Structure 1
Amino acid sequence: MEEMTNKRYRPLQVVVFLIVIPLLFATTVALFVMTAAGVNVFESGKEWAHKVPFLSSTIEGETKDSITKLNEQIFELEAEMKNKEAKITQLEEKLASSEKTNSELKAEKEQLMQQMEELHQIQEENKRAFNELVQTYETMSPKNAASILSNMEEQQAVKILANISTEALSKILEKMSPEDAAKYTELLATNNH
């Protein structure tokens, strides 16, 4: 107990406890009371500061500096905004160009698909016609088939002979001259390998 009663406070602590804290409390209470009464304390403070000679010039200088800085910031932001708008316009143009190219490529793809389908149909028709031709040579008399094939272009004749049944092929080769039969047999053997 003796320690507490003998404890001395420093002068700074005394000033804080006896002057600063009560002053802050009083200011806060006054601010609440004036605000509740409808007085705009900050506007009143600005008006009062303009009446004091030294403070008014300081406030005006700060205001001019802050206005200048704000104007500079506005100018910079407007320039940045214009740059971004230009970039957006450029990207929109690129997008439109890409969409146009994409549409053109889709149309070209459709056209190529249609051409492929037509070629496939033509190929199927040619295959069907060729199969009918092969059947014609199979049903034809071997003597007539041999004479026709001997006078035909070699590649075409080999193609037909390669697709004829082995029974009809042997009968046709039998009716050919030995030279032609040997030639076509050799060509058929070469094509099969």
Structure 2
Amino acid sequence: MEKALKKQKDEKETTFFQRFIYWVLIPLLFALFLGLLIASIAGVNVFQQAKELGGKIPFISNMAVHENTEDISEYKEKIIELDAEIQNKNAEIEQLKKKIENKDAEKERYIVEQKRLEETIDELKKQQEENKRAFKDIVSTYASMSPKRAAPIVLEMSDDEAVKILTNLPTESLAKILENMPAEQAAKYTEKLSINAN
């Protein structure tokens, strides 16, 4: 009989627990789920509302404030670090911009200097061409002059100038001019001409 009572008591406890689950817990969970679903469809942020309500409860609000102050101080430190990093990066960017500007200015100076040098080279080439033409004119003038008139003029020149002109004269004109010079002067110029020819 005791076994039957014990069995009946166990059945009553089991049935009470089962009844609690079936009649209270499951409908409560279903209602909670349904409430969350309706609130999310309606656009209400349930978690935000719960946080606000939790802030009004003394014990929970103290915990939230303590967590918030820790989070805020961490965020402030991170913000300060990031600001410092941004300032360093901005300073680096400014330095690089100045370097680029200096390089650009230097490049411009080199371009201007190159153009100036090219113009100078062109001017020197033109001047050299003019000098060559003028020299050819002088040589052709001496070649067309009578040897009696050309020889005394050549003797009055410096040796370098005289040799330069005599070197460029045609062989016939050179021979006639040398014939009209005194023997020792003619020998001197002949010797210099032979040295230049080598």
* TM > 0.5: yes
1:14-33 correspondence to structure 2 within 5 Å: 31-33=36-38
Q: Mind listing any 5+ residue stretches in structure 1 that lack a counterpart?
A: 1-21
TM-superposed CA distance for 1:146, in Å, is 2.1
Inter-partner Cα distance in structure 1 for 2:187 and 2:69: 112
Equivalent position SS for 1:189: helix
Which one has the largest radius of gyration? 2
Equivalent of residue 155 in structure 2, options 150, 157, 167: 150
Inter-partner Cα distance in structure 2 for 1:73 and 1:110: 55
Equivalent of residue 167 in structure 2, options 142, 149, 162: 162
Inter-partner Cα distance in structure 2 for 1:186 and 1:73: 94
1:8-157 correspondence to structure 2 within 5 Å: 31-50=36-55, 54-157=59-162
1:173 aligns with 2:178: yes
- Residue by residue, what CA displacement relative to the aligned partner does 1:1-41 show, whole Å, maximum 9, x if unpaired? xxxxxxxxxxxxxxxxxxxxx9xx96776643431244322
> How many residues are matched?
170
Question: What is the root-mean-square deviation in Å for CA atoms of aligned residues?
Answer: 2.6
TM-superposed CA distance for 1:189, in Å, is 1.5
Normalising by structure 2, what TM-score?
Answer: 0.72
TM-superposed CA distance for 1:74, in Å, is 1.2
TM-superposed CA distance for 1:95, in Å, is 3.0
Equivalent position SS for 2:167: helix
Shifted more, 156-165 versus 79-88: the winner is: 79-88
Letter in 2 for 1:167: E
Counterpart residue number, 2:23: none
TM-superposed CA distance for 1:51, in Å, is 5.0
Normalising by structure 1, what TM-score?
Answer: 0.74
Inter-partner Cα distance in structure 2 for 1:116 and 1:105: 16
Inter-partner Cα distance in structure 2 for 1:192 and 1:100: 52
